[in-house]
């Protein structure tokens, strides 16, 4: 078994006792840090940064040098798989990711190749290997992917969307075509995440950013069933350790029980649900990750600490089953010092809730 000096994050995901609540932040490596912006400028563009293993490792480790975080997360993008499928990913200033060749019909889906994780996506695996080496066992490394539904929204819409009319048109008018795409994406995500695990990721997370735009039945049929397939297909033990799997659907609090039924180890929560209510509903079946509103980080240090304390109190006195996080990614204009206040507050204020630290 590979030694990890601070394995609280992994133990919390497996509902094992810890002496304080571990914490990391979605998008913890990124634009709110001036040192990230310097490396990004050095790389030339975002995907060049992702494709350079040394630079990807550097920006992954930057937040760990500033804050005593309990996990690192691979620096990459959720759109690496559709990019490797040849859809012409590019980034437009002020608009975000765009695809030159969006999916429009069944023939487009049938012609999509299945990317080789150690071929077209080898740069991601090289980054994982480099980050693991550079981490030197300090904290675990999280690998990740977008969910099939979320990837499909970008692939069909051609970029970000507010109303998701194109993918919903396909969902209702040509459901078999969309299912074909989602199934192909699920297989690709399984291969991709398993390759990350083999390369050194010690936990993996599936980001279902846009699952919450669906009706309950459509969520089950077009998003959750494919995440269930992914969970079933993942390597669950590597290097002598369990490899925990976290599923996160933004605005998915109403479907907690169904998400738990996939067999995942943890469920990510956004800020629209009280963590005490979530805990009451799922019991001890999974770990809960979350769930502070990222916008709280604009507030004063006192207000940030107050919110951290409130969420910890909401979760209650329990040595197990909570990984503290934001309810979504940290905003790009948050002062880094405020992120530091947040991380320190979680560590300090959580200790009285853990018997092993008393």
Catalytic residue, chosen from 9, 20, 32, 154, is: 154
Contact in structure between 36 and 104 (CB atoms under 8 Å): no
So what's the pLDDT on residue 358?
A: 45
Residue 294 domain-assigned (yes or no)? no
**Is residue 272 included in any domain, yes or no?**
no
- Is residue 135 included in any domain, yes or no? yes
Given the residues 8, 11, 27, 132, the one annotated as active site: 27
Specify binding-site residues.
27-31, 77, 154, 209, 328
In a domain, 156, yes or no: yes
Confirm whether 54 is domain-assigned. Answer: yes
Residue 356: the pLDDT is: 65
**4 token code pair:** 């990890």
**244 found inside a domain:** yes
Tell me whether residue 291 is in a domain.
Answer: no
* Sole residue written with tokens 């390597």: 235
Instruction: Enumerate the known binding-site residues for substrate.
Output: 27-31, 77, 154, 209, 328
Domain containing 243 — which CATH number? 3.20.20.210
* Residue 40 bears catalytic tag: yes
- C-alpha distances (whole Å) from 350 to each of 111, 308, 343, 358 are 51, 9, 11, 11
Predicted local confidence at residue 302, as pLDDT:
98
pTM strictly above 0.75: yes
The active-site residue out of 31, 37, 241, 303 is 31
Residue 75's domain spans which residues?
8-260
Contact 252, 212 (CB under 8 A): yes
The upper half-sphere exposure of residue 344, i.e. CA atoms within 13 Å in the direction of its Cβ, equals: 12
Mean pLDDT per 10-residue segment, the chain (358 residues): 91 96 97 96 93 98 98 96 95 87 97 96 98 98 98 97 97 98 98 98 98 98 98 97 98 97 98 97 96 98 98 94 97 98 98 79
Tally of domains in the chain: 1
Whole-number pLDDT of residue 270? 97
Which pLDDT belongs to residue 253? 96
Of 19, 37, 66, 77, which residue is the catalytic one? 77
User: CA 114, 120, 124, 130: dihedral to nearest 10 degrees?
Assistant: 140
- Would 306 be classed as within a structural domain? no
Contacts of 23 (CB under 8 A, 6+ apart): 69, 70, 323, 324, 325, 342, 343, 346, 347
- Name which of 29, 30, 4, 8 is nearest 20 in CA terms: 8
């Amino acid at each position: 078994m590979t030694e990890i000096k601070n394995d609280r994050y992994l133990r919390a995901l497996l509902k094992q006792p810890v002496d304080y609540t571990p914490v990391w932040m979605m998008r913890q490596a990124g634009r709110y840090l001036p040192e990230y912006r310097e490396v990004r400028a050095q790389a030339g563009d975002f995907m060049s940064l992702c494709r350079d293993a040394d630079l990807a490792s550097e920006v992954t480790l930057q937040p760990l040098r500033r804050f005593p975080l309990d996990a690192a997360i691979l620096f990459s993008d959720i759109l690496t798989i559709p990019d490797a499928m040849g859809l012409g990913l590019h980034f437009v200033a002020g608009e975000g990711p765009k695809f030159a060749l969006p999916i429009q019909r069944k023939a487009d889906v049938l012609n999509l190749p299945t990317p080789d994780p150690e071929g077209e996506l080898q740069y991601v695996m090289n980054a994982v290997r480099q980050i693991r080496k550079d981490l030197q066992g300090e904290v675990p490394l999280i690998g990740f992917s977008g969910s099939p539904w979320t990837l499909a929204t970008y692939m069909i819409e051609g970029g970000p969307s507010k109303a998701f009319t194109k993918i919903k048109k396909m969902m209702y008018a040509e459901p078999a075509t969309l299912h074909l795409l989602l199934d192909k994406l699920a297989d690709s995500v399984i291969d991709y995440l398993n390759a990350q695990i083999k390369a050194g990721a010690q936990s993996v997370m599936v980001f279902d950013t846009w699952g919450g735009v669906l009706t309950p039945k459509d969520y089950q049929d077009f998003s959750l069933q494919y995440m269930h397939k992914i969970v079933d297909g993942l390597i669950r033990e590597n290097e002598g350790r369990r490899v925990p799997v976290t599923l996160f659907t933004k605005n998915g609090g109403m479907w907690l029980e169904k998400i738990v039924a996939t067999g995942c180890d943890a469920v990510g929560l956004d800020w629209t649900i009280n963590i005490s209510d979530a805990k009451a509903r799922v019991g001890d079946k999974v770990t809960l990750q979350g769930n502070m509103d990222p916008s709280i980080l604009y507030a004063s240090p006192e207000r940030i600490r107050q919110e951290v304390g409130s969420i910890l109190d909401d979760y209650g006195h329990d040595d197990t089953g909570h990984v503290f996080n934001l309810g979504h990614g940290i905003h790009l204009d948050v002062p880094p010092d405020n992120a530091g206040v947040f991380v320190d507050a979680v560590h300090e204020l959580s200790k009285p809730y853990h018997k092993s630290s008393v």
